[in-house]
Structure 1
Amino acid sequence: MMNKNIRLAQLHDAQSIQLLLEQLGYVLPVAALAKTLTECQDNPHSRTDELLVYEQLNAQGEPQVVAVMVLMFFDYFPALSRICRITAIVVDADMRGQGIGTQLIDFAKARGRQEACQLLELTTSTQRIAMQQYYESIGFTKTSFRYSLVLS
Structure 2
Amino acid sequence: MSDLSIRPARTDDVPALVALYADDPLGALRETPDDLDPYLAAFERLAADPNQHLVVAERSGTVVGTLQLTVIPGLSRRGTIRSVIEGVRVHADERGSGLGTHLVRWAIEESGRQGCQLVQLTSDATRTDARRFYERLGFTASHIGFKLQL
Residues 4 and 59 of structure 2 are in contact (CA less than 8 Å); yes or no, is this contact kept in structure 1?
A: no
2:30 corresponds to 1:31? no
List alignment gaps of at least 5 residues for structure 2: none
Give the secondary structure class of the aligned counterpart of 2:73. strand
Aligned match of 1:139? 138
Identity in percent: 26
Spell out, residue by residue over 1:12-47, the C-alpha distance to the aligned partner (whole angstroms, 9 max, x if none).
111101101113514143122223334555x4xx35
User: What is residue 59 of structure 2 aligned with on the other side?
Assistant: 56
Q: Within 5 A, what are the aligned runs for 1:3-152? A: 5-23=5-23, 25=27, 26-28=30-32, 29-41=35-47, 43=48, 46-57=49-60, 63-80=61-78, 81-151=80-150
TM-score calculated relative to the size of structure 2: 0.85
| Cα shift at 1:106 | 1.2
| Root-mean-square deviation (Å) | 1.9
Q: 1 CA distance for matches of 2:38 and 2:16? A: 13
- The one-letter code matched in structure 2 to 1:48 is N
Residues 46 and 52 of structure 2 are in contact (CA less than 8 Å); yes or no, is this contact kept in structure 1?
no
Alpha-carbon offset, residue 67 of structure 1: 0.7
In 2, Cα distance between equivalents of 1:92 and 1:138: 20
CA offset digits 1:76-104 (Å, max 9, x no partner): 33323111110210101221011111111
Separation in 2, partners of 1:106, 1:30: 29
Q: Aligned equivalents of 2:4 and 2:97: distance in 1? A: 16
* Aligned length in residues: 141
Query: What is the CA-CA distance between 1:134 and the residue it aligns to?
Result: 1.1
Q: Deviations over 1:45-74 (max 9, x none)?
A: x353111111101xxxxx100111000000
